[in-house]
Amino acid sequence: RKEVEQDPGPFNVPEGATVAFNCTYSNSASQSFFWYRQDCRKEPKLLMSVYSSGNEDGRFTAQLNRASQYISLLIRDSKLSDSATYLCVVIPNTGNQFYFGTGTSLTVIP
């Protein structure tokens, strides 16, 4: 079983829409969680950390559900510039690796 699983999409949404991605992880002792964004042929860049109580950064909201072992990312009022691949990242309790999901592709359509 993979450490981290994501729905690859693609998600095609109109501008202004709200879209949500989920990511499940297999290790219940996982320590930390993040969302990264990767544009085509570019490096992944940190979008936001995911805290146990949930956290918000502008139009982006991240949530963690430890009981069900998933994290989510909600994007409100989608912009064309949000088009990218979104990667969830999980760190196990050993701290030795940052496990990346395969990414969810989002295209925001005018």
Partner 1 sequence: NAGVMQNPRHLVRRRGQEARLRCSPMKGHSHVYWYRQLPEEGLKFMVYLQKENIIDESGMPKERFSAEFPKEGPSILRIQQVVRGDSAAYFCASSSRTGLYTGNTIYFGEGSWLTVV
Binding site for partner 1 (CB under 8 A): 31-32, 34, 41-46, 49, 87, 89, 91-103
Rounded least distance, CB 11 to partner 1, Å: 16
C-beta closer to partner 1: residue 55 or 72 = 55
Going by the DSSP 8-state scheme, the letter that residue 102 receives in this structure is -
Rounded least distance, CB 69 to partner 1, Å: 18
Going by the DSSP 8-state scheme, the letter that residue 15 receives in this structure is T
C-beta closer to partner 1: residue 17 or 70 = 70
With contact defined as beta carbons under 8 Å apart, do 59 and 76 qualify? yes
CA 94 to chain centroid = 21
C-beta closer to partner 1: residue 19 or 89 = 89
3-class secondary structure, 82:
helix
C-beta closer to partner 1: residue 19 or 87 = 87
Rounded least distance, CB 12 to partner 1, Å: 17
With contact defined as beta carbons under 8 Å apart, do 61 and 110 qualify? no
With contact defined as beta carbons under 8 Å apart, do 88 and 35 qualify? yes
Rounded least distance, CB 2 to partner 1, Å: 10
